[in-house]
A = this chain, B = another copy of it.
């Protein structure tokens, strides 16, 4: 148990019936610090039990028995009176206002939605990357006059990319990132893509994804300056996003320009020696290794590496020179765990551990 805690913190999931909502349930239903006390959905079925309101979609698990009888309530703070933290898996068209309502009501909102990610006082947080950004919520509370807070996690592609880049930025300086993604179908939620559109196909377009990848990367690799706000990292990012017929796992081919000379061995060593605060703190959802570098010539592979560290590790490989920028490599992350629900849960753990909420 976290030393800060006498008892488990009651938490709820907003958007509990969707794909990411179910990943939240999977990660929270027997969490050592959190007690999953409420479930809410936009289509809330008037409080019907979760087992009636939802079908379980995650193929490699069953609906946890402890949530089957939980009522699915409306996404309003009054409907979840005793909850201290909500995890939001709401879709972007409704997440914004609902999350604000919870924050105003004093709840800490850990959101996977895109709406508040770029907010001037909202942390876009990955513990392994920018744990110090979390303290922005102190200013957020002060400025907005609420006792709750909104903390977001990044787009499912941006997360593994930024985790790969952070140690290199720190060690060598980083000026350019050119990334091509090959993203799994689960990234589109449920029902997501019709099978007829993607079986035996690659679709070289995902709406707004390239833009998110570019701006979120700069914010996360930038600085939080007390009193001033977020300052983007001066990094140019260019993205090509593609959907491919895989179930889970976003694989990305990346070319980068580092500012200092760095041999391939030095880059790999930088990754292999990277032990960020979240791993030092031994947060419950932090994988033993945030980054895993595979030395085989053909790794990481989507199927083989997506579940590394229970889906919370990011796997790297094929680091070599790039004749146009300076280096190139491959990075893979599990999109609905590390890139979505798992990332949010880890963010909440960090904030609890730091006494921020």
Identify the A interface with B (CB < 8 A). 19, 57, 59-60, 176-178, 180, 182, 185-186, 190-205, 214, 236-238, 240, 242, 244-247, 251, 253, 255, 297-304, 307, 317-318, 322-325, 328, 330
Contacts of A240 in B (CB 8 A): 180, 253, 255, 328, 330
**Contact with A180, one of B180, B193, B297, B304 (Cβ below 8 angstroms):** B180
Q: Quick one: closest B residue to A60, CB to CB?
A: B307
**Contact with A251, one of B202, B304, B323 (Cβ below 8 angstroms):** B202
Instruction: State A299–B197 Cα separation when bound (angstroms).
Output: 12
Instruction: State A300–B180 Cα separation when bound (angstroms).
Output: 16
Instruction: Tell me whether A198 and B195 are in contact (CB under 8 A).
Output: yes
**Contact with A238, one of B182, B203, B328 (Cβ below 8 angstroms):** B328
Instruction: Tell me whether B205 and A196 are in contact (CB under 8 A).
Output: no
Contacts of A194 in B (CB 8 A): 190-195
Instruction: State A193–B236 Cα separation when bound (angstroms).
Output: 37
Instruction: State A330–B181 Cα separation when bound (angstroms).
Output: 13
Instruction: Tell me whether B199 and A185 are in contact (CB under 8 A).
Output: yes
Instruction: Tell me whether B253 and A201 are in contact (CB under 8 A).
Output: no
Please judge, given known A-B contacts A195-B199, A328-B240, whether A204 and B307 are in contact too, CB under 8 Å.
Answer: no
Instruction: Tell me whether B201 and A196 are in contact (CB under 8 A).
Output: no
- Closest approach, in angstroms, between the C-beta of A79 and any C-beta of chain B? 29
Q: Quick one: closest B residue to A322, CB to CB?
A: B238
Contacts of A193 in B (CB 8 A): 194-196
- Closest approach, in angstroms, between the C-beta of A343 and any C-beta of chain B? 20
18 A-B pairs besides A180-B240, A238-B325 with CB distance below 8 A are: A19-B196, A59-B301, A60-B304, A177-B324, A178-B324, A185-B199, A190-B194, A192-B196, A193-B195, A200-B303, A201-B246, A204-B330, A236-B324, A240-B253, A240-B255, A242-B253, A244-B245, A324-B325
Contacts of A298 in B (CB 8 A): 203-205
Instruction: Tell me whether B190 and A185 are in contact (CB under 8 A).
Output: no
Instruction: Tell me whether B317 and A202 are in contact (CB under 8 A).
Output: no
Instruction: Tell me whether A247 and B196 are in contact (CB under 8 A).
Output: yes
Instruction: Tell me whether A246 and B245 are in contact (CB under 8 A).
Output: yes
Instruction: Tell me whether B247 and A200 are in contact (CB under 8 A).
Output: yes
Contacts of A202 in B (CB 8 A): 182, 244, 246, 251, 301-302
Instruction: State A59–B301 Cα separation when bound (angstroms).
Output: 9
Please judge, given known A-B contacts A185-B199, A195-B194, A195-B197, whether A244 and B244 are in contact too, CB under 8 Å.
Answer: yes
**Contact with A324, one of B238, B299, B303, B318 (Cβ below 8 angstroms):** B238
Instruction: State A191–B192 Cα separation when bound (angstroms).
Output: 10
Instruction: State A294–B325 Cα separation when bound (angstroms).
Output: 29
Please judge, given known A-B contacts A204-B298, A253-B204, A304-B201, whether A242 and B182 are in contact too, CB under 8 Å.
Answer: yes
